[in-house]
């Protein structure tokens, strides 16, 4: 028995020693799962319709695929817990739009920079805009606890001792922006990317001024002598940068929100209350028949007619979906001003246009390209795709086509095309508007309370068992 015990002890010691020599990257691959800390935010991770999405989520999903493992997203209660969990090694990476700051670099290792933001002081429209940060001393300023905003404010406080603020450990940036909108606090600080993403949902918000220089964002990892995971993250970002995938994701999440239209956004919110309830059942019914999202159909209809079934343009298109005579005949409807027939024709025509595009085009690019064709005609879109290819860009990518569409109004280019001149800027604006309207229709004011999800189950996630 004594010898058996010694053999078992030596075997256990050997196994323990072996496990200790495994790198962090090898451990992730062995367990088949990447544990990523994130936060609920339009710039990181959120639910859109029935699916989870967000820039950080999409990047993390690509990285998990790169490692050939499953993705497990973990959303801690607050930023402080996120940073502590990472420091203690209870997750592999934090992908949450984290700013690289001197204080954080003492505690964490940061991957490659993929975006830059500025910190902005936010106030509500209708209130007096402060001229500088000295002017807000004595006001109610609230920011997220342990955030880079706190570090920045402390730097300002050295010159302005009267500058005070409240650090909120329970609410995130989105919630604080909402409190400013509701006039429950005077000011907050937000990163420029998040402010831009949220402005359509909180149209009364305004940027007073920047309180920082541009600052880099990156994924964060725990400090360790083991650099295996960090090296893989570095290689991954080199790959997605070189392939154009990173640029495509940036366009996907920010390409349609650079231009904010206050009047248009407020008008949409009024119409959501006054007009949408009348047509919502039809949008839902017809969208289900064509396997489309009803909110996308509603966004298209709002762009076309502002949900006015009697709308008529100077070119003769009419109805909720602004159907031409030719499309009405093709879709076999006889009354373009009948809401149900109009939505049916619009949905059917969109599906028809998508069927005319190559199967290899991925979503959501195929939908945006088909909608551009809905606006300017499939022939002009094919011309733009050819020009895109001639310019050594991807003719199956909406971000690339979007860059080349305006060339259809320049003689040098349209004179060489099959279908000739087109106002190529119009379909670009058309798609940007629809995407903004779609985002607003999808938006749920309680989105910050959505349940966590693993990549596979899309149900409430759990922290790793090590906790």
List CB contacts of 450: < 8 A, sequence separation 6 or more: 40, 46, 47, 444
How is residue 91 written in tokens?
């997750």
Asked if 143 contacts 176 with a C-beta cutoff of 8 angstroms, the reply is yes
The rounded distance, in Å, linking the Cα atoms of 457 and 336 is 43
Rg value, the chain, Cα? 26
Tokens of 405: 């569409």
Structure tokens at 443: 């938006």
3-state secondary structure of 56: helix
Distance, CA of 223 to CA of 236 (rounded, Å):
19
Secondary structure letter of residue 72 according to DSSP: E
Q: Where are the alpha helices (DSSP H) in 213-363?
A: 228-243, 245-254, 262-274, 276-290, 294-305, 325-330, 339-355
Say whether 207 sits in a helix, a strand or coil: strand
Cβ burial of 243 (10 Å; 0-12, 13-18, 19+) is exposed
Please give the helix or strand (H or E) that residue 321 lies within, else none: none
Pairing type for strands 166-168 and 51-53 reads unpaired
Task: Report how far residue 85's alpha carbon sits from residue 203's, in angstroms, rounded to the nearest whole number.
Answer: 35
Nearest in space to 64 (alpha carbons), one of 92, 22, 100, 98: 92
Show Cβ contacts of residue 57 under 8 Å, excluding neighbours closer than 6 positions: 38, 44, 45, 73, 95
Q: How far apart are the C-alpha atoms of 77 and 226, rounded to whole Å?
A: 28
Active-site residue numbers?
304
Start-to-end Cα distance in the chain: 36
One-character DSSP codes across 122-164: EEETTSPPPSSGGGGTTS-BEEETTSHHHHHHHHHHTT-TT--
Across the strands, what pairs with 280?
none
What six digits make up the tokens of 51? 């699916």
Distance of CA 254 to the CA centre of its chain: 7
């Amino acid at each position: 028995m004594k010898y058996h015990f010694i053999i078992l002890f030596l075997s256990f010691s050997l196994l323990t020693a072996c496990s200790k020599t495994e790198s962090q990257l090898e451990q992730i691959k062995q367990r088949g799962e990447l544990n990523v800390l994130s936060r609920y935010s339009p710039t990181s991770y959120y639910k859109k319709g029935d699916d989870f999405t967000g820039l950080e989520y999409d990047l993390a999903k690509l990285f998990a695929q790169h490692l050939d493992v499953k993705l497990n997203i973990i959303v801690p209660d607050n930023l402080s817990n996120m940073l502590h969990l990472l420091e203690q090694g209870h997750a592999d990476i934090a992908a949450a739009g984290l700013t690289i700051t001197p204080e954080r670099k003492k505690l964490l290792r940061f991957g490659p920079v993929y975006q830059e933001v500025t910190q902005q002081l936010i106030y509500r429209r209708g209130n007096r805009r402060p001229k500088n940060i000295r002017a807000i001393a004595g006001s109610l300023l609230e920011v997220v606890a342990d955030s880079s905003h706190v570090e920045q404010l402390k730097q300002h406080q050295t010159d302005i001792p009267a500058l005070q603020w409240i650090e909120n450990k329970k609410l995130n940036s989105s919630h604080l922006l909402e409190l400013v909108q509701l006039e429950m606090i005077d000011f907050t600080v937000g990163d420029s990317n998040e402010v831009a993403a949220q402005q359509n949902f909180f149209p009364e918000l305004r940027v007073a001024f920047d309180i920082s220089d541009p600052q880099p964002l990156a994924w964060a990892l725990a400090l360790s002598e083991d650099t295996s995971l960090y090296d893989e993250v570095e290689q991954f970002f080199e790959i997605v940068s070189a392939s154009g995938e990173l640029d495509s994701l940036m366009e996907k999440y920010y390409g349609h929100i650079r231009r904010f239209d206050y009047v248009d956004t407020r008008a949409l919110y009024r119409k959501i209350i006054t007009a949408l309830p009348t047509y919502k059942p039809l949008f839902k019914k017809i969208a289900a028949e064509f396997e489309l999202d009803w909110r996308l159909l509603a966004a298209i209809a709002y762009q076309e007619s502002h949900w006015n079934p009697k709308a008529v343009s100077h070119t003769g298109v009419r109805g909720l979906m602004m159907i031409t005579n030719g499309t009405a005949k093709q879709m076999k409807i006889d009354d373009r001003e009948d809401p149900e027939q109009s939505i049916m024709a619009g949905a059917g025509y969109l599906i028809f246009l998508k069927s005319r595009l190559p199967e290899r085009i991925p979503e959501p690019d195929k939908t945006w390209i088909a909608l551009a064709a809905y606006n300017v005609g499939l022939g002009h879109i094919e011309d733009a795709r050819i020009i895109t290819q001639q310019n050594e860009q991807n003719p199956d990518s909406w971000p690339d086509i979007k860059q080349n569409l305006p060339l259809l109004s320049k003689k040098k280019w349209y004179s060489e095309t099959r279908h000739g001149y087109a106002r190529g800027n119009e379909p670009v604006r058309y798609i940007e508007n629809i995407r903004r309207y779609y985002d607003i229709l999808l938006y749920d004011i309680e989105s910050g309370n959505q349940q966590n999800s693993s990549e596979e189950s899309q149900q409430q996630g759990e922290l790793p068992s090590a906790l």
